[in-house]
Amino acid sequence: MELNALLAQQFVLPSIPKVLALLLSELERETPDLRKITQFVGADPALTASLLRIANSDFFKLSGRIHSVSEALALLSCSQVRSVVEAAASGASLRAVPGIHLQQFWRYSLQVAKLARSLAGLVRQNQPAAYTCGLIHAIGELAIHIGMAQEVALLDRTLAPFDLGRADAERESLGFCYAQVGAGLARRWQYPQPMVDALEHQYAPFEHDVYEPLAGVIHLATWRVRAQEAGLPERGLAVTFPGAVGEVLGLDIDMVLQQNPFDWMAQSSAHIPL
């Protein structure tokens, strides 16, 4: 399948059932707590992607300018947010994605988001945009598994979806990878151009005269979390660390490994167990 044909499909990206339940409950209150709504949505890649798509649409005349859930919620009414959540809840029975362990996907995406935000602070980049990009950076992987289930099944048997070499393997096998799919969707949804560029070049930042610091931030964040998922020992971390990317950003392996992003989810009553 060609990339454009995949992007033309209508995707129902799965949301976290616990998040949907908490949001629906909060939105039923006479005065919903915006802080809680922001935290709930900000833990869910699919809901985040949907709200940013609406906020960057032509309706609000702010296309290409909304980077985060908090910015999106400042524009949308409670009824609009409720409509998005109810639509996601109505498709809950369809949330299984062949080849993807969704609990792992949601946990992994949230960890990348938090680490990306932390790293962005070190290199003075837009932290809300980094968090958003980190949270949704792998929605292209979901799209591939939903739209190309048979084609990608063989690859899944030899290489896990969150393996460090996944992007290269997909490019060799499919002709494109999850990064290009995610960027293609973000472009169609009129996301800010720096975010589109970050998603597109996340697997190989700073190559071919491309310089989008957010791409480097996402690359380092995904390296660390994927290395953790793989259980790499100290030597494995040293061997796989993308030093060229870190050098451009002024970050060495110790600086990346020592980051301990503030877990606001665990520090509040809005904590969502995945």
Q: What is the pLDDT of residue 209?
A: 84
Mean pLDDT, the chain, rounded, equals 92
Of 62, 94, 126, the position where a domain reaches its end is 94
Q: What angle do CA 214, 71, 219 make, to 5 degrees?
A: 15
**pLDDT above 80 (res 270):** no
Q: What is the pLDDT of residue 257?
A: 94
Q: What is the mean pLDDT of residues 30-57?
A: 97
**pLDDT above 60 (res 191):** yes
| Neighbour tally for 207: CB within 10 Å | 12
Q: What is the mean pLDDT of residues 219-235?
A: 95
**pLDDT above 70 (res 273):** no
* Token code pair at residue 238: 């040293």
**pLDDT above 70 (res 274):** no
**pLDDT above 70 (res 105):** yes
Give the domain CATH number at 116. 1.10.3210.10
Shared-domain flag, residues 171 and 242: yes
**pTM assigned to the model:** 0.94
| DSSP one-letter code for 87 | H
Task: With respect to residue 81, please indicate whether it lies within any of the assigned structural domains.
Answer: yes
Write out pLDDT tens, residues 121-160.
Answer: 999 999 999 999 999 999 999 999 999 999 999 999 999 9
Shared-domain flag, residues 73 and 153: no
**pLDDT above 60 (res 240):** yes
Q: What is the pLDDT of residue 41?
A: 98
* Token code pair at residue 151: 């084609």
Shared-domain flag, residues 117 and 212: yes
Of 61, 94, 127, the position where a domain reaches its end is 94
**pLDDT above 80 (res 198):** yes
Expressed as residue numbers, the domain containing 226 is 102-257
Q: Count H helices, E strands: the chain?
A: 17, 0
Q: What is the mean pLDDT of residues 240-250?
A: 97
Report the domain count for the chain. Answer: 2
- Contact between 103 and 14 under an 8 Å Cβ cutoff? The reply is no
